[in-house]
Structure 1
């Protein structure tokens, strides 16, 4: 759109995100033109690379000015957008004519006031294949249990949508809905209840941020960008479930699948690829219209301009009393197992 609709010929890609705007790392801008980007939609990941960690805003704006860049497109989730907001603030302080536009790229789909982020639909699609494989493996073993851990640090949208799309998940565990392991309403008992009615297998889909309150006396860890690192819920569940069934003298065969980075690295598929183009198109039009410090979003089928402050003010999360979670409970029937209703009905 920049090249053909607006005639812009000097287009650069910044290697490794904000790190590429810090000269101390020695990264040079990459020239982008129609030939360079002609087939990038066929590849997953990014041709520019990415990084974590904060960079000095003054240094980054110095680089933009030195390169005579007057539009900066920042593609990413809440961390990237917070960085874009801070760069825009430094540009405004210096009164420079540089536009900063955000494009929502996070498979977690957790940006506030944005219905959908590109990458999410592809993540759900690829997760379904893994859940189906987990079901096949669990179904092929006596008292088989397939456990699939999916990305979703604070919002469980991938797990919820994938559980709905496959219909073979029996339990969906997300950060927004706490659960217990032990007791009459715990996960252990829920699994016992499922096997008690004659079922010989089960499938658990768990978001990476679910059940973090179950980890006791473990120091908080953060990545280079300051995000809290989640404890490994998938492996923890497998170990705890195995230990519990050993204690009660019941056989269980657990198959654990963690496709996190496989899901994240595949190319955008179907309407997700189309959506990606439309976001880029609208981002260019916004920048050329003089907009700045905003992210291109979509709401109710319409493309929108959302101030970055609003987009990162809070994470979008599943509403436990909303229609999405109600649909998940209906598809998995997990409340029947947690409450014991399924085993009572069998009797």
Structure 2
């Protein structure tokens, strides 16, 4: 949107350009949340609850890989919401395979099963970088942390049933929940109001629970990420009793 607005300005084209930020990973700066994020977390936590049933019934390990290339907001929030996760791995927090395996071993000794939630961008340093190349959106293609963990767990915990679940496409394709539908309508109205008021190169969003209009440049400087020292992450670590794994 910013590039289009700048090109219109360069060519003296009168055109109001409005961007409504969308990212399933919720990694847009300043904005409280992107539309669709609540829906994604709602469906993701259902996948985690189902994974617990699978893990507990087989006395094994269930790995659920969720979206989150640079930011672990979906994995973190879904883990907190579900109340069934034992280990949560996100891109912002490095982990050691040795410490991870040791921690999971303790969990299995205590209750016979374990649920691991991992964001797709987590542990790329453990996997020795990216898979190479970029996707259609220009993002680096990541190696599959889910299959890597599955194979590592099978090798370490002989005889333990290990299930790997990737519900990404199911999460992306479901109908939105009520809060997201309302949010989208309000954002659309704000975008139209701003354009009719003569504004351009701006975005509509929710900031500190208030609907506002912001210059597009304020939200595109870098990706928003989970704060490793923030309350949300430490609240989750305390809830699931996850130690530092690095």
Q: Normalising by the residue count of structure 1, what TM-score does the alignment of the two structures yield?
A: 0.69
**Equivalence for 2:211:** 303
2: CA distance, partners of 1:218 / 1:149: 17
Residue number among 232, 236, 239 corresponding to 2:151 in the alignment: 239
Aligned partner of 2:56 among 134, 139, 157: 139
Q: Which residue of 2 aligns with 1:37?
A: none
Hey, what does 1:64 align to over in structure 2? none
Q: Which of these two proteins has the greater Rg computed from alpha carbons?
A: 1
Deviation of 1:335 after TM superposition, in Å, equals 1.3
What's the TM-score once normalised by structure 2's chain length?
0.96
Shift of 1:225: 3.0
Unaligned 5+ runs, structure 2: none
Residue in structure 1 matched with residue 17 of structure 2 by the alignment = 100
Name the counterpart of 1:342: none
Cα deviation, residue 224, structure 1: 2.8
- Where do residues 111-122 of structure 1 align in structure 2 (5 Å cutoff)? 111-122=28-39
- What's 1:283 paired with? 191
- Tell me which residue corresponds to 2:103: 190
Unaligned runs of at least 5 residues, structure 1:
1-83, 340-347
**Deviation readout 1:259-303 (Å, 9 max, x if unpaired):** 111101111102111111111111111111111111111111111
8 A Cα contact 1:113 1:306, kept in partner: no
Q: Higher relative CO (CA 8 A, sep ≥ 6), structure 1 or 2?
A: 2
Aligned pairs for 1:1-347 within 5 A? 84-142=1-59, 144-182=60-98, 186-196=99-109, 198-216=110-128, 219-246=131-158, 251-335=159-243
Alpha-carbon distance in 1 for matches of 2:146, 2:24 = 19
Please tell me the root mean square deviation across aligned C-alpha atoms, in Å. 1.5
The structure 1 segments of at least 4 consecutive aligned residues displaced by more than 3 Å after TM superposition are none
Aligned length: 246
Within 2, Cα distance between the matches of 1:300 and 1:219?
38
CA contact (8 A) 1:125 1:162 kept: yes
SS at structure 2 position matched to 1:204: strand
CA distance, structure 1, for counterparts of residue 171 and residue 86 of structure 2: 21
Maintained 8 Å contact 2:124/2:130: no
Are 2:202 and 2:214, in contact at CA under 8 Å, matched by a contact in 1? yes
Contact persistence 1:107–1:123 (CA under 8 A): yes
Deviations 1:227-261 (A, max 9, x none): 11111111111011111223xxxx31111110111
In the TM superposition, residue 123 of structure 1 has moved relative to its aligned partner by 0.2
State the Cα distance separating 1:128 from its structure 2 match: 1.1
Give the secondary-structure state (helix, strand or coil) at the position aligned to 1:210. Answer: coil
Task: Write the distance in 2 (CA, Å) between the matches of 1:157 and 1:322.
Answer: 12
